[in-house]
Amino acid sequence: MTSRDGYQWTPAAGLCSGLPSTGVISPPTNLPPGSSHWDVVVVGAGYAGLTASRDACLAGLRVLLIEARDRIGGRSWSSNLDGYPFEMGGTWIHWGQPHVWREISRYQMRQEMSQSFDHSRGVNYFQLRTDHGSSTMTHADEDVLMATALEKVVNVDGALGRTIMPYPHDAFHDPEARQYDEISVQDRLDELSLSPEEGSAVEAFILLCSGGTLPTTSLFEFLHWWALCGYSYQGCMEYLASYKFRGGQSSFAIQFFREAQSTGRLSYVFQSPVQSIQDQGSQVTVTSRDGQTYSATRLVVTIPLNVLSSITFSPALDSQRITAMEIGHVNQTVKVHAEISNRDMRSWSGISYPFNKLLYAFGDGATPAGNTHIVCFGGAQNHIHPEANVEHTQQAVEAMSPGNMDITRLVFHNWSTDEFAQGAWFFPPPKLLSSSLDALRRRHGNVLFANSDWAVGWRSFIDGAIEEGTRAAKTVTDELRVLRDLPIPK
């Protein structure tokens, strides 16, 4: 089935909107006639919403899942084109991410993992193209360059971040660590003396992580990522970009949905954006844009920070949360997949910065046709909207490695213009976390908030979304067990 989301371009067909995905749900609703009240309503069918819905259903609660899109997965979904899965959003997973690994084991998908990198054949080199010139080096030399430069950035304590952030899950409560949320990555770089190659490499890598600009990227959050990855560049590559599902993220997300369905306690309605949420004390009422109303004893909202302001809450949300919503996160990452006919580029990686609209790319797989899959990233700095000018997008891909990018297909999802995301994965500007993380995690009467954007562990990752969905489901399950004998409002 085809989602309304995403774009594909080929020389023969040109630009086409909408991509096939196993995450599309059809029919879009299974609402039984006359149903109007549930134990729990979950707003949003990303990994947080899927986890909360599944766990609540398994605990015996009647759940209604409401989703604005025609598919599950939120900011993590895949499209299978000619037998190859292209990942539109969140992609990589690792056994060191505890919540992800628990679910991979639960659904017996350990054998479904595959490696992104393959340096066994082909060109097998790294290209660094900057305003200072162009150089080509081995991947071993690439690793030395990146590790050396990054270690200079994160070594704020003389111990590569280990002293100030020994427990990354609780770091935002530690004054020693929180002080680094007061400054940006640009502030930190201004303190250092880096070679031109080091500077270009480390800036491109950090912007790849944040999707913002250097002045709008919180140093604290980058240190948090670094700590979660074991305080090393090698760890960053292992955790952040090495392993993915052979069948794509949607093959994983659908397992959550099907298990919830199997209980017989899941109702759902897709293609139904929420307009307002009213907590009336004895129940919470949700109103969709098309005027439909649904009520429950508890409500779990799992939509991203940058979209929260699109919903009217009554009573109004607290001022701290509203301020955080007004600020929002900074990540405007552009992710463009290019299928190219040059098979030798499977072992290539490169940085093209700061002159190009795409800054970082690498060989990420081989399609059944024998072509190479290159995944490219850009960000808020020198931003591009791929569908607005495909010719410019092609030029940006080709500029990553001139003469080697013979494009046969482009595939992408523009998260910046997506009204239900308004940005890619969460990455905060300075001061947002230290002032607002606790507020974002706080409940609002009978309304709970669960999203990877305010997870304490792998924040902004699939693991963080599952962490948050688990937390919300446990809370509502414990509370409703106490209230179980009370009559359900009609």
Write out the binding residues for FAD.
67-68, 274
Q: What is the distance between the alpha carbons of residues 22 and 2, in angstroms, rounded to a whole number?
A: 8
The answer to whether 192 and 152 have CB atoms below 8 angstroms apart is yes
Q: How far is CA 147 from CA 143, 150, 151, 208, 392, in A?
A: 6, 5, 6, 15, 32
If one counts every other C-beta atom within 10 angstroms of the C-beta of residue 29, the result is 15
* Preceding amide of 33 cis, omega within 30: no
Which residues make up each annotated binding site for substrate?
377
* Local structure of residue 158 (DSSP, 8 states): S
If one counts every other C-beta atom within 10 angstroms of the C-beta of residue 360, the result is 22
Strand partners, 442: none
Which residues make up each annotated binding site?
67-68, 274, 377
Question: What is the residue whose two structure tokens read 């990994």?
Answer: 47
Q: What is the distance between the alpha carbons of residues 42 and 448, in angstroms, rounded to a whole number?
A: 9
Q: What is the distance between the alpha carbons of residues 340 and 62, in angstroms, rounded to a whole number?
A: 48
Q: What is the distance between the alpha carbons of residues 273 and 398, in angstroms, rounded to a whole number?
A: 38
Q: What is the distance between the alpha carbons of residues 451 and 473, in angstroms, rounded to a whole number?
A: 12
